Amino acid sequence: MSESTQTYSMHELVSLCKRRGFIYPASEIYGGINGFWDYGPLGTALKNNLRDLWWRDMVQRPPLGPDGNEVSIVGLDSAIIQNAKVWEASGHVGGFNDPMVDCRETKARYRADHLMCLGLKGDRSGQIYAYVDGDEDSLAAAQKKLEKYVKKALSPDDVDTCQLTALSAEELAVTVGPDTKNAGTLTEPRQFNLMFDTTTGAIRNEDSKVYLRPETAQGIFLNFNNVVDTMRVKVPFGIAQIGKAFRNEVTPRNFIFRSREFEQMEIEWFCHEDDAEKWFEFWCDVRSSWWQSIGLTGANIMMRKHDDDELAHYAKEGCGTFDIEYRFPFTHPGFGELEGVAHRGNYDLSRHQEFSKKKLAYFDQAKNERYLPHVIEPSAGLSRGTLALLCEAYTPDPDRASKVYMAFHPKIAPIQAAVFPLVGKDGMPEIAHQLWSELRERWDVVTDVKQSIGKRYARMDEAGCPFCFTIDGDTASDQAVTVRHRDTQAQERIALDQVATFMSEKVG
Ligand code: GAP
């Protein structure tokens, strides 16, 4: 996507993802299931590349700390299902709720804080039209309904917008929901718990009820003592985890942006309370530069401090949370959350200490001080990050055969190179096979002999493969291949024995 202008619709991206094997609707042959997605071969490769880079850059080779010294982060892989008391302690059973509004007529359910209302300026006595915030079609439909109601075209100066939650009960009674014609069908907002539950063991009752984790973070807090006791870590240090999380989102939407099953990449950074502010700033910087290092352009990324009424139940008052936001096509020209960096204080460790009755304080031998560390948490969406990479890469180009190419950074491209014999004879397939075998030891490389070379390039453009190496009739004699660059379509001739060096320089 260009830096400031949106040049394509989500519909086009979703269709490419299906056509080229990035992402498919889950259970598609049964009509699908709302909020769940399957990753195809290319989507899996892209997501795994993103995951592996995060692990390498945050856990195996983390950045230097603010004082120039190496920081220490260790990995973890905890269970998805934990003792149900974990979620009472974490506040998710009591507090992990969204205010919901139901439409009595259509049975559609909306997050109350995602519904905006449109009415005539200074006059809320007539009808008020509700629409889904961030959804331009729904805003246009609400505007049309309002114009029909007042029987004239309206300019932005004539209309008043507010959040649905700001309306009184009387005003709600004259509100027309986004998907209905009649006023007064929306219920008042009520709380809705987002956790999926199930049972363990043969007997299904309240005592056997357990939950699918809604965040990977809690598995880290549960193992704080274990890690301190078994690894030679000293505060400050971090524990990182990548894994699935599940939320029964009321309105899953915008492709994989908000789904009911998704993956997170989280670090819980344990530090002394006095140093928390320093580490908070450090992680905000590290994380926003990291997203840029894998190809998200600066203009499409921004940092936003949460408003006080947005803070999660665990966020430390006064310190807040920063979101790293990306300009998705469906939020354009606005931004949507990609990662949150939160100062959780010692909320989680103190709650688990209280509920489990196990001591979780850390003893600093050098300072002879015992304390519950404070936590800075960079929490990124792996699924949402994959979507941001797809959105950033999608580049319409009417002048090429495929009409579009995916400009992935070579480091995360699902296919990093293709090796093509120009035709399937005269020794070309054998040379191609030999080169492909060598390159695939280090990179994600494909080879293909079918169809014209133009069609094969077009296929690779849509897959986002940055380099194609073609073996032609001269290769056997001059020991050289043609390399085609995806973004410029430029072609150059390089020595066969320099292809691996070329790949090392360009891809790493
Ligand atoms: N442990 C903190 C935590 O879970 P969060 O802001 O609720 O914080 C962190 O989630 C990240 O997880 C988000 O920034 C987003 O990238 C991703 N995420 C959250 N809910 C999601 C959903 N329903 N679908 C896809 N990604 C989601």
Task: Render 211-245 in DSSP notation, one character per residue.
Answer: EB-S-SHHHHHHTHHHHHHHS---SSEEEEEEEEE
User: pLDDT by residue (tens digit) across 262-297?
Assistant: 999 999 999 999 999 999 999 999 999 999 999 998
- How much distance in Å is there from the Cα of 240 to the middle of ligand 1? 15
Tell the residue nearest (CA) to atom 23 of ligand 1: 258
Residue nearest to atom 24 of ligand 1 (CA): 258
Dihedral angle sign, alpha carbons of residues 287, 288, 290, 294: positive
Average pLDDT value over all residues in the chain: 93
Angle between helical axes of 382-393 and 41-55 (0-180°, round to 10): 110
Torsion of CA 132, 133, 134, 135, to 10 degrees: 20
Question: 352-394: per-residue pLDDT in tens?
Answer: 999 999 999 999 999 999 999 999 999 999 999 999 999 999 9
Residue 379 CB less than 6 A away from ligand 1: yes
Separation of CA 381 and ligand 1 centre (Å): 6
For 428, the token pair is 């070309």
pTM above 0.85, yes or no: yes
Confidence at residue 137, expressed as pLDDT on a 0 to 100 scale: 86
On the question of a cis peptide bond just before residue 252, with omega within 30 degrees of 0, the verdict is: no
Alpha helices in 311-381 (DSSP H): 347-356
- Predicted local distance difference test score (pLDDT) of residue 400: 96
Q: Distance between CA 497 and CA 62 in Å, rounded?
A: 34
pLDDT tens, residue by residue, 395-426: 999 999 999 999 999 999 999 999 999 999 99
Residue to substitute in 287, 311, 384 for testing ligand 1 pocket (most ligand atoms within 8 angstroms of CB): 384
Q: How confident is the model at residue 4 (pLDDT cuts 50, 70, 90)?
A: very low
**DSSP category for residue 69:** S
Q: Which two tokens stand for residue 249?
A: 């989102």
Assigned token pair, 372: 């519950």
Q: Poorest-confidence range of 189-198, 347-356, 441-450? A: 189-198
Cβ–Cβ under 8 Å, residues 188 and 316: no
Q: pLDDT tier at 314 (50, 70, 90 boundaries)?
A: low
Question: Kind and range of the H or E element at 436?
Answer: helix 428-439
Q: Quick check: CB of 54 below 6 Å from ligand 1?
A: no
Inter-residue long-range contacts of 69-74, CB under 8 Å, 24+ positions, other chains counted: 71/236, 71/237, 71/238, 72/233, 72/234, 72/237, 72/238, 73/237, 73/238, 73/239, 73/240, 73/267, 73/269, 74/227, 74/231, 74/233, 74/237, 74/238, 74/239, 74/240
Question: Domains along the chain?
Answer: 10-87+198-392 (3.30.930.10), 97-192 (no CATH), 402-506 (3.40.50.800)
d(CA 96, CA 340): 17
In this structure, of 158-162, 389-393, 452-456, the range with the lowest mean pLDDT score is 158-162
Of residues 22 and 92, more confidence is placed in 22
Q: What are phi and psi of 268, to 5 degrees?
A: -105, 115
In angstroms, the CA 139 to CA 161 distance is 11
| 264 CA distance to ligand 1 middle (Å) | 7
